[in-house]
Chains A and B, each alone.
Chain A
């Protein structure tokens, strides 16, 4: 038998079964109406759940985007400092982070679609529930139990079909959201562990540390040059005083010019060691 006919029979069998179980069919009207209201609640909760998941995803996307931008900035900085190796490392990490972002963007689109579908489903169900309430009052007021049977059957099977459809839609949205939440949890853990690198900016990742070290080394060199300049220009007498203490070790002939020159080599090797 065809797919569309079989589905129709399955859905209408549900409605008939519920209807047949009641002694006075009019009793089923109120009961059914209660269930419809419950279903409306359920759909609305579903919409809210999907929206929550979507927002969580958006937050993660922002964090990952920030990390991607940071890595790009680092690669520029490294390249400007002539450290291609460091720039390459930063870009390699960035491509991994970008992959995550692409993944999350697709999940976000899926959740958004689910949210829209559920919102529409809740609006459709709301319209039908309102129509059912009106119909229910008319039937209860106008018809005897025997007469009501057909009328109730008509109203009942339409809304029951809608309830079945909406119920499945909510179920599906829940399943999808749960699967995505599990993945979102995994990403949160990654973010927390620092594997995607720290987003808070409190701890330093190794590329930042290296860039800062390079930066501070530049400052050390500048400071050294400044000190050397000072020693060379204004502090000559001091250098002469210390000169005799250092002089015995060297064979260099004593003299104002020679002693000042000694000061420079004495510092530079130490700076070389620091750079290693």
Chain B
């Protein structure tokens, strides 16, 4: 068992922040409460002695058993100490799938969280640009990696071909791109509304 677990319990213990910890096939997994996630992650990254400076992966797992919660998995690694830790947050698969984004801590989480949003429908609060990354932005069938999503999709093949051919191959939907004026006319209504309200994308700037 990774000693970080005891250190976590010592620091955050007594609250609902740190749940159970277990070992599977030699890897340590610790469950963290949804509300405490950002604090726990910042502590893990910045505390000397922990220094999990490398984010390995962000993804989600939904089980076939409908009683089990949907887990958002964060793989953390300390390059200097050569230690791995897996942090999980449990969410209700039928409920609200929202969790804080760790992009302020590790920029590598940017696209990984977008993919989790695309495949599972998990909203990451505070993500600079949360939109679909693997499917097209107006994909209407749902979130593919959910267990209630059938393998071949919800629509018939002809309907899928029709929707695919109707998509505009040069669609610019990123808020960053929209701030470049000539894409404005092609936007769907809600994007124009967001722009009007002042939402803009962010440039990748230095920390």
User: Do A and B form a real pair?
Assistant: no
Q: Which residues of A contact B (CB under 8 A)?
A: none
B: which residues have CB within 8 A of A? none
